[in-house]
Amino acid sequence: MEPASMSDDNNPAGGPQGPWPDGPPGPPQGGQSYGQQRGGPEQGGPQPGQMRFQDPSTTAPREPTLAEQRARRQAEAEDRERAAQAEQARLAAEQKSDSRRKLLIGSGVGLGLVGLVAGWYLVKPEDTTAICTTADGTVVENDDYCDEDYVTSHGGYVSGGFMFLPMPGGGMQQYRYNYGGSGSPGTQVRGGSFTKPDGANITTRSGKTVQRGGFGVSGGSFGKSGA
């Protein structure tokens, strides 16, 4: 026996056949989906594929986790350690620079003193003995005959490096110094020079100072005796 087919006579509601009693829904209106049009769970919540944004003015910041706190403390400790090491390196460099500068200054002072002492020995005044002689080079016993003060106080004078001293019988006798020579009274002087050496300590055989030597001393700086 064949089943009876559904017809308008067998449909007591008299409506259209199908799962929608009121007929199939029309297309979504106003940009709504079928679920929104039907009042489904999509209303009031984010749709699939959509992103939700937080408002910074109303959203409270999240507390850092224990791991984040430990990492932050470790990073801060490492920063402090690097800063301390950099400061120690700077202080060590400054101390090394000061030590080098002091060493250079001390070396310069030491070299300066050594140079000064060495220079003094190199230019140490020479000691020279002056012997009074006559114009022809005969050694006389009295050194006063070549002393300018003695000659002028006894009526004599000085000219051209010679001392002119009056003689008892009249006339003038000439005297002058020989520097560095030798000889006994009444003999000809041996060696030496009749030119006064510059910068030398010159004394007579009796101990009288003719010239004091030293830096910047010339032949006419000290003493009034013969040139």
What's the pLDDT tens digit per position in 118-172?
554 556 668 899 999 999 999 999 999 999 999 999 999 999 889 999 988 888 9
Q: Is 22 exposed, middle or buried (0-12, 13-18, 19+ CB in 10 A)?
A: exposed
Enclosing domain of residue 182: 127-211
CA dihedral of residues 37, 42, 46, 47 (deg, nearest 10):
-70
Asked whether residue 53 is domain-assigned, the answer is no
pLDDT of residue 198: 86
Residue 146 within any structural domain of the chain: yes
Paired sense of beta strands 172-179 and 201-204, if any:
unpaired
User: Between 89 and 36, where is the model more confident?
Assistant: 89
- Residue 187 — pLDDT band, cuts 50, 70, 90? very high
**Does 79 fall in a domain?**
yes
Does 186 lie in the same domain as 111? Answer: no
Number of domains into which the chain is organized: 2
Structure tokens at 53: 């944004």
Q: Tell me the DSSP string of 120-168.
A: HHHTPPPEEEEEEEETT-BB-S-GGGG-HHHHHHTT-EEETTEEEEE-T
Q: Determine contact, residues 164/179, Cβ cutoff 8 Å.
A: no
Based on the domain organization, do 110 and 135 belong to the same domain?
no
What pLDDT score does 87 carry? 92
Q: Residue 185: inside a domain, yes or no?
A: yes
Which comes out higher in pLDDT, residue 141 or 215? 141
- Within-domain flag for 153: yes
Sheet holding 172-179, edge to edge: 157-159, 162-166, 172-179, 127-134, 201-204, 209-211
Does 196 score more than 70 pLDDT?
A: yes
Do residues 213 and 201 lie in contact, with contact meaning Cβ atoms separated by under 8 Å?
yes
Please indicate, yes or no, whether residues 113 and 135 belong to a single structural domain of this protein.
Answer: no
Rounded to an integer, the average pLDDT of 198-206 is 88
The pLDDT value recorded for residue 221 is: 36
